[in-house]
Amino acid sequence: MKSKSSSSSKARQRKANRGSIAETNVRGAGQRVAVLVLGDIGRSPRMQYHALSLAKAGHSVDLIGYPGSTPMEGILASPNITIRHLPTPPQPPPSAPRVLFYLFAPLKVVYQLVVLFWTILATIKRPDFILVQNPPTIPTLLVARVCAAITRARLVIDWHNYGYTILGLKLGPDHPVVSLARRQVFEQCFGKSAYAHLCVTDAMASDLRSNWGVSGKLIVLHDKAPRHFRRLDTAEIHKLWTRLLADSHFSQLLLHTSDGAGAVESLLTSRHKDGTVSMRKDRPMLVVSSTSWTADEDFSILLEALALYDEAAIVLKSQGERLRRLVVLITGKGPLRGFYESEIARLQLGSVSIVTAWLSAEDYPLLLGSADLGISLHTSSSGLDLPMKVVDMLGCGAPVCAYKFSCIHELVTGDNGLVFSSAPELALQIQDLAAQLSYPDGRYSRLLQGAAQFRKIDWDTHYTRALELFQ
């Protein structure tokens, strides 16, 4: 059933939908595209961007996936997008023995097979194209391949990563299932002969060509932030943080504010008697990290780096110098969130405040647009994918410190951010950038300019090549 939105919101979105993509792809309009996400639709930004771009081009989109987080407003408002929520498969309780999860796994796959086949073959109108996200691989690629054959649809695979590497994170690299999957039998069998392939990196495209022998068209589609992701101006930052500080999730940050001399302070800004707003000279540095709280991100690195930063602040204070305070906001949901929140609670830091929160799809880009620095701990199970969170941060004009792995250079170039390999290295980078935050000609200022350069090409502009596949 189509999700509801207010009539005014729909009107605004229809107006927005008449943008550049619709104008540049008239020939491809009118196709029916099934966009398949075997996950929470609201937590699958790239697939939502696919759906929005296809809808803006005049295609009719069935967006198929699980309910959970609220999708983007544009998804809810678009008249060309119909959300098809899949029933969540049965799961054993979280406290159940691990062996029970193994017993449930084949039952879950059978359940998903039935539900997916029914949805694509019996619920929606016959698609002209099926666009499927990989991973998850099992049973998604099998279903997509069979359904494409039955409906004579063209299959397009959006390769975010490799399924067998994700499976290795969950079960361990030596598990028999992982050993079998590592041979790429399932992914190659049902994936390599698709009509077209989209890849998130040049490195992945090269690997698919040389090691997988894929046929069909192959396009590198680097993640790009959508057009509404941008740097906030000072007045917008003040408005945002005045509202957020009224929320109980952020109340602990009120200690960083105080009103005086006729000014009303927010976390980063001051509003003066004459109505003007300026950035506070004594403001903390706002650092943001986004995570799904999974095993491919070792947040102990960040926590250790923040502890080292705090120790440096103590040493400098004893020498009569001052290191800028940090406010670190970590957003996201995931299985390891509780564990790391307990670790954060044990820290006794004087110059660093850490807050964990989940923000709405509307507030998330606003937060990034107010941030001074983004931090990514994504390591990539395959070494061939890039973190979407870094794309979002750069798209909002925030320089980034990112964990170093094989293809991160495709995104973090040295002009828009830094890479690190250890907690001490990250701590020194944060300390250096915090010290130069207000310098117009320092290293931080140059990174800020690089991030602004990155966002000149947004998702809509970048997507025109992919739209050619759907004609």
Distance of alpha carbon 345 from alpha carbon 341, whole angstroms: 6
| Residue 161 contacts residue 382 (beta carbons within 8 Å) | yes
| Residue 230 contacts residue 455 (beta carbons within 8 Å) | yes
Output the six-digit token pair for 308: 């080292």
Q: What whole-number percentage of the chain has pLDDT above 90?
A: 63
Distance of alpha carbon 103 from alpha carbon 100, whole angstroms: 5
pLDDT of residue 42: 92
Distance of alpha carbon 190 from alpha carbon 145, whole angstroms: 6
The neighbour count for residue 20, using CB atoms within 10 Å, is 14
Longest distance between any two alpha carbons in the chain, whole Å: 74
β-sheet with 32-40: strand ranges across: 81-85, 60-66, 32-40, 129-134, 154-159, 196-199, 217-220
Residue from 76, 55, 144 nearest 470 by CA: 55
| CA atoms in the 13 A half-sphere facing the CB of 417 | 30
pLDDT of residue 392: 94
Q: Give per-residue pLDDT as tens, 390-399.
A: 999 999 999 9
pLDDT of residue 19: 36
Q: What whole-number percentage of the chain has pLDDT above 70?
A: 89
Distance of alpha carbon 291 from alpha carbon 35, whole angstroms: 24
What are the residues facing 197 on neighbouring strands? 157, 218
Mean pLDDT of 401-423: 96
The answer, yes or no, to whether residue 40 has pLDDT greater than 70, is: yes
Distance of alpha carbon 29 from alpha carbon 49, whole angstroms: 17
Q: Which amino acid is it at 22?
A: A
Residues in the chain, total: 471
Q: Which amino acid is it at 96?
A: A
Q: Which residue has the tokens 């086949």?
A: 117
pLDDT band at 462 (very low <50, low <70, confident <90, very high): confident
Distance of alpha carbon 383 from alpha carbon 138, whole angstroms: 21
Strand segments (E) across 123-169 = 129-134, 154-159
pLDDT of residue 262: 55
Q: Which amino acid is it at 216?
A: G
| Residue 299 contacts residue 338 (beta carbons within 8 Å) | no
pLDDT band at 4 (very low <50, low <70, confident <90, very high): very low
| H or E, element range at 54 | helix 45-56
| Residue 66 contacts residue 112 (beta carbons within 8 Å) | no
Q: Across the chain, what does the average pLDDT equal?
A: 87
Please give the full DSSP string across 9-41, using - where no structure is assigned: HHHHHHHHTTSHHHHH-GGGTT-EEEEEEEEEG
pLDDT of residue 183: 55
β-sheet with 269-271: strand ranges across: 264-265, 269-271, 277-279
337 CB-near residues (< 8 Å, 6+ apart): 293, 356
The answer, yes or no, to whether residue 6 has pLDDT greater than 60, is: no
Q: How far is CA 67 from CA 64, 71, 99, 147, 206, in A?
A: 10, 9, 27, 22, 34
Output DSSP code: residue 209: I
| Residue 37 contacts residue 63 (beta carbons within 8 Å) | yes
Distance of alpha carbon 389 from alpha carbon 387, whole angstroms: 5
pTM here is 0.79
Q: Give per-residue pLDDT as tens, 177-235.
A: 666 665 566 787 788 889 999 999 999 999 999 988 888 999 999 999 888 899 999 99
Is 169 strand, coil or helix?
A: helix
Quick one: CA dihedral 117, 120, 124, 127, positive or negative?
negative
Q: How far is CA 207 from CA 179, 438, 465, 466, in A?
A: 19, 43, 21, 20
What are the residues facing 373 on neighbouring strands? 287
Distance of alpha carbon 360 from alpha carbon 72, whole angstroms: 9
Q: How far is Cα of residue 106 from the mean position of the Cα atoms in its chain?
A: 29
